[in-house]
């Protein structure tokens, strides 16, 4: 999946038309590509907005743990002798002699009973956790003041926040590998289970993990690439980011499963029985390893500070997509009523904070899992497929390849073009279709909790917020397109608004036997000038339409 789907898709997201035209206009880009598929751009923005409302909850949890790390009495999740565990009948650590089937590690107990104080289900929301509300509000304050002067204000900070954590990861890895029972977790981690390859859920989760960790189909790559220099080597960036991400994921997996092996040995259980589910993994497994460090409080504080800055880096990208899309989608309204970038960022952060409040109730973890499943996992592959189709089959893979050549000085290999044309769209759609065929409602706590029908219906409503714009905008595009018959309107709505061959300026219908010849290097200097002019003409058309509207 990394090499045949993620890397090629990442490359065209980095180039597309945004960087090529030195513009950060996501709406203009979608209209230039194809008005028929403009709903994919709208759906991407909605998905990013939904992601932003609950992703900051993880940062709020991180802030809570960060403050708990300064407890003078030691880390509160280190063992079952702490005051919060006095009445617990399920807390089990190495000092106990027996463990029941429903026993949990002290880190799991702390997460469930101190941080979440979780109720029995989503239909029992309980009370709002004031500590988490304050932490969530503080997290949004950090996001706001990092972005209120645009993403460039936080650019230099990212050089530090994205590199220093590797030093800490190396230290945590060393400690995890030296824990008793670590080898049990490593055996589980590296032992293949070939029968699982026949399950669509495995492929969907793998693709979603790759897309989530790299940021594909969320709009963040497109937004950030617009700040690159036009001559930036995006091919090198694509490989560097993808391989670094894969290497980092491997390191994280080694730490997690080494620690799980330690937990399993202490409790006398199999690895399957102690694997944490969902976002709680990082707040259960890593703290277990941290509690065994000398000067554990210091290392815990460093770890959760690292987690905080990494989480903020990801949230910056999400909020930037929303803010940029609003400015580009409603330029006249923004200029007339909001006027200042700082106010727009404030509104986005405030609305996102309010919509995130259901996640910080005592039953918030159930809503968190529900929205995470339907807002991202269900719709992500669907949106990615139509993005690939719009770019590769409407705008054109050959055009895209020449865009890369104009910026880097060389054509992308045939590998990229084959993946763009066939492998990536077929694989993405196959994964999405099989996930729908093999669909099963989400569960929580290793399948022990099943969501009621009302919650499942709510989840599909959330999913339709990002999936629905694609057919809606497609119908609108056909209705507004020029033509006397339905087929004429359909063809025109599927047509890219950039006319002419990207390398010689000839009309689109010049695809004949001489295509290979006139795509040669001899025509390159002329094509760059003509193609640049055509991009500006198309942008002017869209902006003129905005003014008249």
| Cβ neighbours of 520 (radius 10 Å) | 10
CB contact at 8 A, 234 and 32:
no
225 among annotated binding-site residues: no
Do 200 and 437 touch, CB atoms closer than 8 A?
yes
* Contact assessment for residue 28 and residue 539, using Cβ atoms and an 8 Å cutoff: yes
Distance of alpha carbon 194 from alpha carbon 125, whole angstroms: 40
380: exposed, middle or buried (C-beta count within 10 Å: 0-12, 13-18, 19+)?
A: buried
In 295-452, which residue ranges form alpha helices assigned H by DSSP? Answer: 296-329, 331-333, 341-355, 364-372, 378-388, 397-408, 414-418, 424-437
Both structure tokens of 212: 């989530």
How many residues would you count in the chain? Answer: 549
Q: Known binder of ligand: residue 198?
A: no
- What is the residue-wise DSSP string for 15-84? HTTTTTTT---HHHHHHHH-GGGHHHHHHHHHHHHHHHHHHHHHHHHHHHHHHHTT-TT--TTS-TTSGG
Cα dist. 281→65, 239, 304, 340, 364 in Å?
14, 28, 14, 40, 16
Handedness of CA 277, 278, 280, 286 (dihedral sign): positive
| 465 is annotated as contributing to ligand binding | no
Tokens coding 516: 């290979």
The neighbour count for residue 219, using CB atoms within 10 Å, is: 25
Query: Does 313 carry a binding-site annotation?
Result: yes
For residue 104, the cross-strand partners are 91
Decide if 443 contacts 451 (C-beta within 8 A): yes
Q: H or E segment at 393?
A: none
Alpha-carbon span 299 to 337, nearest angstrom = 48
Q: How far is CA 353 from CA 56, 316, 319, 350, 512, in A?
A: 8, 14, 12, 5, 55
- Residues forming beta bridges with residue 93, ordered by sequence position: none
Q: Are 32 and 497 in contact (CB under 8 A)?
A: yes
C-alpha 214/C-alpha 7 separation (Å) is 10
> Whole-angstrom Cα distance, residue 52 to residue 54?
6
Cβ atoms of 388 and 428 within 8 Å: the answer is: yes
Instruction: Judge whether 220 is annotated as a binding position.
Output: no
**504-513: string of b/e by CB count within 10 Å (b at 16+)?**
bbbeeeeeee
Q: Residues marked as binding for Na(+)?
A: 213, 245, 310, 313-314
- Annotation: binding site: 213, 245, 310, 313-314
């Amino acid at each position: 999946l990394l090499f045949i789907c993620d890397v090629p898709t990442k490359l065209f997201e980095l180039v597309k038309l945004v960087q090529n035209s030195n513009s950060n206009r996501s709406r203009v880009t979608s209209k230039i590509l194809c008005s028929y598929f403009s709903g994919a751009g709208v759906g991407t923005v909605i998905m990013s907005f939904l992601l932003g409302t609950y992703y900051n909850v993880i940062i709020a949890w991180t802030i809570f743990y960060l403050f708990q790390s300064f407890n003078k009495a030691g880390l509160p999740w280190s063992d079952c002798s702490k005051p919060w565990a006095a009445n617990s009948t399920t807390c089990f650590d190495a000092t106990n002699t027996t463990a029941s089937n429903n026993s949990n590690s002290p880190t799991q107990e702390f997460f469930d009973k101190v941080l979440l104080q979780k109720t029995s289900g989503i239909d029992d929301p309980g009370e709002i956790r004031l500590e988490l509300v304050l932490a969530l509000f503080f997290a949004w304050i950090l996001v706001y003041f990092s972005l209120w002067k645009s993403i460039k204000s936080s650019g230099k900070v990212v050089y530090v926040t994205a590199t220093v954590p590797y030093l800490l990861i190396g230290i945590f890895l060393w400690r995890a590998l030296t824990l008793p029972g670590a080898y049990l977790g490593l055996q589980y981690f590296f032992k293949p289970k070939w029968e699982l390859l026949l399950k669509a859920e495995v492929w969907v989760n793998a693709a979603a993990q790759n897309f989530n960790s790299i940021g594909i189909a969320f709009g963040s790559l497109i937004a950030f690439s617009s700040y690159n220099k036009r001559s930036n080597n995006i091919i090198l960036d694509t490989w560097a980011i993808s391989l670094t991400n894969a290497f980092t994921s491997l390191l994280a997996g080694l730490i997690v499963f080494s620690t799980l092996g330690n937990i399993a040995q202490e409790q006398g259980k199999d690895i399957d029985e102690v694997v944490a589910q969902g976002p709680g993994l990082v707040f259960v497994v890593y703290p277990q390893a941290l509690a065994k460090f000398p000067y554990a409080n210091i290392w815990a504080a460093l770890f959760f500070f690292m987690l905080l800055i990494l989480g903020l880096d990801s949230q910056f990208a999400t909020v930037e997509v929303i803010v940029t899309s609003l400015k580009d989608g409603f330029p006249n309204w923004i200029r007339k009523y909001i006027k200042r970038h700082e106010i727009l960022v404030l509104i986005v952060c405030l609305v996102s904070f309010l919509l995130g409040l259901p996640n910080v109730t005592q039953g918030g973890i159930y809503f968190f899992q529900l929205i995470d499943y339907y807002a991202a996992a269900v719709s992500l592959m669907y949106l990615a497929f139509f993005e690939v189709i719009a770019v590769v089959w409407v705008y054109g893979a050959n055009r895209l390849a020449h865009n890369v050549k104009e910026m880097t000085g060389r054509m992308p290999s045939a590998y990229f073009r084959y993946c763009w044309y066939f492998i990536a769209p077929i694989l993405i759609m196959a994964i999405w279709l099989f996930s729908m065929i093999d669909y099963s409602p989400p569960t929580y706590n290793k399948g022990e909790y099943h969501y009621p029908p009302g919650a499942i219906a709510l989840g599909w409503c959330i999913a339709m917020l990002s999936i629905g714009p694609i057919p809606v905008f497609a119908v609108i595009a056909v209705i507004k397109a020029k033509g006397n018959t339905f087929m004429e309107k359909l063809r025109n709505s599927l047509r890219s608004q950039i006319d002419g061959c990207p390398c010689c300026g000839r009309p689109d219908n010049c695809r004949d036997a001489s295509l290979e010849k006139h795509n040669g290097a001899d025509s390159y200097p002329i094509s760059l000038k003509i193609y640049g002019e055509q991009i500006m003409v198309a942008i002017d058309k869209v902006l003129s339409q905005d003014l008249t509207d």
